[in-house]
Amino acid sequence: MIKLIRFVGLVIQSILIEFLHVFGLVAFLLAAALGYFRAPSWLVPIVGVVCGIIADKFIDQTEVIALLERAASANQRGGFLVIVYIIIVAVGYVAGAYARGAVHRRKIAQATPSPVAKPQAASAAAKQPQKRKRS
């Protein structure tokens, strides 16, 4: 249990480092756009792996090593970085999907007209029972 808590803490620190490098934010926004425009969800792990490999091969992380030293050393392992980017992209995809839903609900709320108030005389006449003629 303690190892799981440490691993989760390490992942959170690594996500923070990737957002500080801006590439994590770019991956998050890309995934949010995928979710917003209803791209297939099977793209999430693919985009996560691609972003993780790009971050591992091409992004220099030496400027933030002093900030979070343990997470920075974990980020030097490519497999761990791929896991981090899969998490970033998955959360971004879900955030984009929820944003699309919120925009859709707002459009529906603005499109529906408010009910028009009935005049008092018409509503009073409607409430009175009608008299039947008895024959």
Q: What whole-number distance in Å separates Cα of residue 23 and Cα of residue 127? A: 67
Q: Is residue 39 part of a domain?
A: yes
Q: Is residue 133 part of a domain?
A: no
Q: Is residue 130 part of a domain?
A: no
Q: Is residue 123 part of a domain?
A: no
Q: Are 67 and 92 contacting, i.e. CB atoms less than 8 angstroms apart?
A: no
Q: Is residue 86 part of a domain?
A: yes
The domain total for the chain is 1
Q: Is residue 11 part of a domain?
A: yes
- Assessment of whether the complete model's pTM goes beyond 0.85: no
pLDDT band at 95 (very low <50, low <70, confident <90, very high): very high
Q: The domain containing residue 52 runs over which residues?
A: 2-112
Q: Stretch 114-128: mean pLDDT, rounded?
A: 57
Q: Is residue 107 part of a domain?
A: yes
Identity of the amino acid at 100 = R
